[in-house]
Amino acid sequence: MEPLCSWSTEVGFPVTICDKEGIIVGMNHKSIEYYSDEGGDTLLGKSLLDCHPEPSRSKLKDLLRNPRPNTYLTQSKEEKIFVHQTPWFVNGIYLGFVEILIRFPSPAEEY
């Protein structure tokens, strides 16, 4: 089964999908580009646990065992990144997580 849906393939933000063991099973074009310094498409088939230091690794393990959404904002000098990680299901069966990243310049306009 192809985990990326047609809408997510070419959207303007990174979409990364892992299975319930934390193995990366899908990356759209923007995800491959965003993670190019870490290996880009060579990350497919690799464990997310190997890509994250503590305490992120422990948080990820907990999310994989106890599926629930995780949303946060991170910031560098150049941009802020809204990160949303949520479990994905097919026919009610938990299959892993989808992560979307929304990047915006810092400072960003507020309305």
Interval 6-59: pLDDT, tens: 667 778 899 999 999 999 999 999 999 999 999 999 999 999 999 889 999 999
CA angle, 17 then 57 then 88, to 5°: 25
Q: Which two tokens stand for residue 85?
A: 């990680």
Long-range contacts formed by 1-7: CB under 8 A, 24+ apart: 1/90, 2/26, 3/88, 3/95, 3/96, 4/28
* CA 74 – CA 95 distance, rounded (Å): 26
Helix (H, G, I), strand (E, B) or coil at 74: strand
CATH architecture entry for 11-105: 2-Layer Sandwich (3.30)
Strand partners, 102: 82
Strand residue runs (E) in the chain: 15-19, 24-27, 70-75, 79-90, 93-105
Q: Place 1 in a pLDDT band, splitting at 50, 70 and 90.
A: very low
Domain ranges of the chain: 11-105
Give the residue-averaged pLDDT of 62-79. 92
pTM attached to this predicted model: 0.87
